[in-house]
Amino acid sequence: MNNTSAEYDAVISLCKGLFMKKTHDYGTAWRILRPASITDQIFIKAQRIRTLEEKKVSKVDEGITSEYIGIVNYCIIAMMQLECGPETPVELAPEDVSVLFDEKALETKELMFAKNHDYGEAWRDMRVSSLTDLILMKILRVKQIEDNKGLTLASEGIKANYQDMLNYSVFALIKLEVK
């Protein structure tokens, strides 16, 4: 029997652990990134995953798992940046970052459960490579919304796309049995 909530929490805990260690080492230097730069970082990570999935050889000692963890953390950064306005200082206290991280992760987990209810955990029957492709598609959507200055006619906004990419990454990490 699958316990999606516990599996999800374990993956988020792993991602947050790394994020908070990097916050200790680097502070909140990510606060300087513009939204498009964050989107591009996610794109780079997803594109590398796709390349590794297709070529099966890595010349850098970091595999698919670390890239999915990076996508989770960059999606959290993106959502924090959307919330923090230009008046928010660049350097945030680690305690504040931890609270923001938890808020964004919880909001995204709640969205996942709402969608899982409707889709019946279909992601469990998907290939990890399909999750990668969905992330790449969502990135292209976000880039288009950014190019349109945030204006949409019939689609969800940028935050919802970041949440979907985060959830697809968590699903991939669960499927890869990373805990």
- Per the prediction, the chain carries an average pLDDT of 92
Mean pLDDT of the region 139-164: 90
Computed over its alpha carbons, how large is the radius of gyration of the chain? 16
pLDDT digits 0-9 by tens, 44-67? 999 999 999 998 766 666 789 999
DSSP classification of residue 178: -
Q: How far apart are the first and last CA of the chain?
A: 17
pLDDT of 70 strictly over 60: yes
Whole-model pTM over 0.85 = yes
Question: Exposed, middle or buried, 116 (CB in 10 Å: 0-12/13-18/19+)?
Answer: middle
Helix/strand/coil for 148 = coil
- Residue 138: is its pLDDT beyond 60? yes
pLDDT of residue 57: 67
Give me the pLDDT at residue 139, please: 97
Per-residue model confidence (pLDDT) at position 10: 97
Would you say residue 109 has pLDDT above 70? Answer: yes
* Residue with more model confidence, 3 or 85: 3
| Long-range contacts, 3-6 (Cβ 8 Å, 24+) | 4/113, 4/116, 4/121, 4/174, 5/109, 5/113
Is 36's pLDDT higher than 80?
Answer: yes
What CA–CA distance (Å, rounded) separates 2 from 63? 26
